[in-house]
Chain A
């Protein structure tokens, strides 16, 4: 009688194939349910954006990046000394002519405002009445 009810050895191994299947399904679920508000924007090298408590997502892709040593618009670098201001204005007007309504200003957090002021003026001159200041949420 005892022999009949003798416990069989329990196999405690995980079935790895089904585990992998489950994780793959979960991965797709996470990816599809992941919502992203705003647009993807590249932060230019050497720019540490200021921290802020603002939660307004970026809605426009075009930007002017004001670094410590150069200005970058659409991967084209300009001098920060002011000698390229005419070219910068021309470039901003070109962006405006493509139907872009807003421009985002990426500027380093340690820059003094007089360096940024000039490019806000140029953006306004080019036809962007409301510049957006890019920040990193705190």
Chain B
């Protein structure tokens, strides 16, 4: 009788030593799984809208503004009464970055860039352009969004 009872208990606990390390493993993995799958880190891009102060700037300042017109297939840069376009191709990012660096080197005081965005531009393309403007080596910290009144 006694033998039977003890032998039964042994059988019921046979899985326990295997379960404990598995449980441990999942316990350790749990926070990492939660962090990577459920919580996705989000960041933001801040866009500024033109203020009354900036709109009342002198004509000399207006000439020094860098205006980027973002179109579906190209970006037009307007700076110091000159305008030139960069077509969307494989080298687009590099070309735009180089042009912006040139402008920045010619006038390090300029910290903001104005963006005009065409209706047909995809949102991802706009974010890519903002990314290039804000790159540390380019250094346009403020993105001013110019809305066109229809």
List A residues at the B interface (Cβ < 8 Å).
16, 19-20, 23-24, 26-27, 30-31, 34, 38, 40-41, 43, 49-59, 104, 107-114, 116-117, 120-121, 124, 129-137
Q: Are the CB atoms of A53 and B119 closer together than 8 Å?
A: no
Q: Are the CB atoms of B40 and A136 closer together than 8 Å?
A: yes
The CA of A131 and the CA of B130, in the complex, are separated in Å by: 14
Q: Is B89 an interface residue (CB 8 A)?
A: no
Say whether chain A's binding surface is mostly helix, strand, loop, or mixed: mixed
Q: Are the CB atoms of B121 and A16 closer together than 8 Å?
A: no
Hey, which chain B residues are within 8 Å of A50, CB to CB?
Answer: 123-124, 127
Shortest distance in angstroms between B103's beta carbon and chain A's nearest beta carbon? 20
Report if A51-B40 is in contact (Cβ < 8 Å); known contacts: A112-B119, A129-B49: no
Q: Are the CB atoms of A132 and B46 closer together than 8 Å?
A: yes
Q: Are the CB atoms of A38 and B120 closer together than 8 Å?
A: no
List B residues at the A interface (Cβ < 8 Å).
17, 20-21, 23-24, 27-28, 30-31, 35, 39-49, 117-124, 126-128, 130-131, 134-135, 145, 147
Q: Which residue of B lies closest to A36 (CB)?
A: B39
Residue pairs across A and B with Cβ atoms less than 8 A apart, 9 shown, are A16-B17, A16-B20, A20-B23, A23-B28, A30-B31, A31-B31, A108-B123, A109-B123, A109-B127
Hey, which chain B residues are within 8 Å of A51, CB to CB?
Answer: 124, 127
Q: Are the CB atoms of B119 and A57 closer together than 8 Å?
A: no
Report if A24-B27 is in contact (Cβ < 8 Å); known contacts: A51-B124, A111-B123: yes
Q: Are the CB atoms of B28 and A113 closer together than 8 Å?
A: no
Shortest distance in angstroms between B53's beta carbon and chain A's nearest beta carbon? 13
The CA of A81 and the CA of B67, in the complex, are separated in Å by: 31
